[in-house]
Amino acid sequence: MLEMAILGLLDGQELHGYEIRKRLRDQLGLLFNVSFGSLYPALGRLERAGAVESTADAGISGAVRTVPMTGSLSGERAAMRSRRAASGRGRRGRKVYRITDSGRRLFAELLERDPSSDGDDARSFGLRLAFARYLTPHGRLRLLERRRAQLADDLANARAVTAGGSQGLDPYARLLAEHTTDSTEREISWLDRLIEAERAKGRSVEGEVRQDDLQNDDMDDMQNVIENDMQDMEGATS
Amino acid sequence: MLEMAILGLLDGQELHGYEIRKRLRDQLGLLFNVSFGSLYPALGRLERAGAVESTADAGISGAVRTVPMTGSLSGERAAMRSRRAASGRGRRGRKVYRITDSGRRLFAELLERDPSSDGDDARSFGLRLAFARYLTPHGRLRLLERRRAQLADDLANARAVTAGGSQGLDPYARLLAEHTTDSTEREISWLDRLIEAERAKGRSVEGEVRQDDLQNDDMDDMQNVIENDMQDMEGATS
DNA sequence: GTCATCATGTAAGCCGTTACATGATTGC
DNA sequence: GCAATCATGTAACGGCTTACATGATGAC
């Protein structure tokens, strides 16, 4: 899951580890606070697997720079230093990561996978939703519907329990159960709105291009390509 | 955290592992689905630490029995078999766990601990709330207020981020961020209601008995007793 | 007599953490 | 020159999961 998040972040911009951690923390729905002891090994694994490449901080780009604060010439000096460093390569400086084509394919595959296969449901769903722009319309709908089904299921179980032993249950436990139930209901209706919005988008596209089936075929082809890729990945990773 | 949950369930009733798992699943706010590979070792640790004792299924009590379904004489036969088994003790049957005094003290201490010390915030808070009847009024309030403060903090961070890069952020990521923000706000106001209810309870008691300070002293004494106990526990556990 | 469920346990592994070690850069 | 922050990494450990192994009980 961490690896998916990293790949997603790296798609479109080059970043170094320290910066990746920050963006993970506050760019992704508030709840992806990963430690360095987890991040750096993950970057290492991705690099060994060929999903990302690293270079020793070649010419700090605007995307990488954090706000200069004092402005003015510090940027110039930093650039000079990094140029010096880039040639030397013994200097323990920033290591900038860039996603590879293989990494991009891996990302697409991880994203399309069943969220329930990587443990923490809420996190796993949230992460995929945050990257939903990289999903096909079909994959997006599948993501939302799976999540909805899961929540509806939880809700049914919860109600079965609360209905049966409602009077015997501890007051505090009941308070909690009720709140959880409410939250789940709200999340379901939120999902319903998102699903409806996605469907509406689909319908308007259909009117113009009519290529739903074509898209599904594309997806299947892609899955096949990726399946092979994953075997390489798994061999290299473990 | 698992150990706290087990001790809490065991307070007041004797249960065997398989049953503990079920109750953990559906008695505790829907989200404590633990596997056997996790549960049995935990029970073993608790037993070695002297927090629980086990016996080989002596005379199936009403609390332990699951609904007999067919009713009638199957219960009688089961009791006979278990009596035969209880003496032999080679029979790989149910192992019934009972909490000890030391276990009860350990539970009280774990419950009163800072929830943020055992990882997953929501789970850890939920579990403690479910067992809030075992907390002192003071401990209960502290639990609720800590959780409230944590959520308020999260919310502030989230808003700082969303406010800054709101226009540049990905539409799906923003959707998610907004939903998370809403949920957090709702949870905060729910907590506010709970806190107010607890305070009201406190005020009504104060009018009758006026023993707030006494209760706090009791708590401090208890903490001291428990501190020593925990050292034994940690030695035995790790 | 056999299949589902109840019941207990071990082993390997995953995914993350904290703590530690190291060093560069910047601000004062 | 010293502290804070940026930056990268390793080692040990924690808590949970899945998969495996084993066996009893009950229903049909």
> Is the Cβ of A177 closer than 8 Å to some Cβ of chain B?
yes
> Is the Cβ of B118 closer than 8 Å to some Cβ of chain A?
no
Averaged pLDDT, A174-201: 94
Q: Which among A30, A175, A190 is the nearest to B154, CB-wise?
A: A30
- For nucleotide C8, the protein residue with its alpha carbon nearest to C1' is B92
The three-state (H, E, C) secondary structure of chain A, written as one string: CHHHHHHHHHCCCCEEHHHHHHHHHHHCCCCCCCCHHHHHHHHHHHHHCCCEEEECCCCCCCCCCCCCCCCCCHHHHHHHHHHHHHHHCCCCCCCEEEECHHHHHHHHHHHHCCHHHHCCHHHHHHHHHHCHHHCCHHHHHHHHHHHHHHHHHHHHHHHHHHHHHCCCCCHHHHHHHHHHHHHHHHHHHHHHHHHHHHHHHHHHHHHHHCCHHHHHHHHHHHHHHHHHHHHHHHHHHC
> Is the Cβ of A154 closer than 8 Å to some Cβ of chain B?
yes
Q: Which among A172, A186, A190 is the nearest to B132, CB-wise?
A: A172
A230 touches strand C (CB under 7 A): no
Identify the burial level of A42 via C-beta atoms within 10 angstroms of its C-beta, where 0-12 means exposed, 13-18 middle and 19 or more buried: middle
Global pTM value: 0.76
Residue A96's beta-bridge partner residues? A16, A55
A27 touches strand C (CB under 7 A): no
Q: Do A31 and B190 touch (CB under 8 A)?
A: no
Q: Give me chain A's average pLDDT, please.
A: 75
- pLDDT interval class at A32 (50, 70, 90): confident
What pLDDT, on a 0 to 100 scale, did the predictor assign at position A82? Answer: 40
What pLDDT, on a 0 to 100 scale, did the predictor assign at position A230? Answer: 41
Which chain B positions have a beta carbon within 8 Å of A126's beta carbon? 176, 180
In the numeric block, which tokens belong to residue B58? Answer: 């002596």
Closest chain A residue to the Cα of B172, Cα to Cα: A130
Which of residues A206 and A4 earns the better pLDDT score? A4
What pLDDT, on a 0 to 100 scale, did the predictor assign at position A165? Answer: 53
CA–CA distance, B168 with B162 (Å, rounded to integer): 10
B88 touches strand D (CB under 7 A): no
What pLDDT, on a 0 to 100 scale, did the predictor assign at position A152? Answer: 92
pLDDT of A215 strictly over 70: no
> Is the Cβ of B173 closer than 8 Å to some Cβ of chain A?
yes
What pLDDT, on a 0 to 100 scale, did the predictor assign at position A27? Answer: 79
- Check: CB of residue A115 under 8 Å from CB of residue A125: yes
Using the 8-state DSSP alphabet, how is residue B61 labeled?
A: -
- For nucleotide C19, the protein residue with its alpha carbon nearest to C1' is A37
Q: Which residues of B19-32 are buried (b: 16+ CB within 10 A; e: fewer)?
A: bbbebbebbbbbbb
CA–CA distance, A137 with A127 (Å, rounded to integer): 17
Secondary structure of residue B67 in the 3-state scheme: coil
Mutate to test the interface with A, among B124, B140, B151, B172 (most CBs of A within 10 A): B172
Q: Give residue numbers, 22 to 61 of B, with CB < 7 Å from strand C.
A: 36-37, 40-41, 43-44
Among the ranges given (A143-152, A173-182, A224-233), the one the predictor scored with the smallest mean pLDDT: A224-233
Per-residue pLDDT of chain B (238 residues; tens, 9 = 90+): 899 999 999 998 999 999 999 989 878 867 788 999 999 999 999 999 999 999 987 544 333 334 333 333 333 444 444 433 333 333 357 899 999 999 999 999 999 888 887 778 888 999 999 999 999 999 999 999 999 998 998 888 888 777 765 566 789 988 998 999 999 999 999 999 999 999 999 888 766 766 555 454 444 444 433 344 444 444 443 3
- Write down how long chain B is: 238
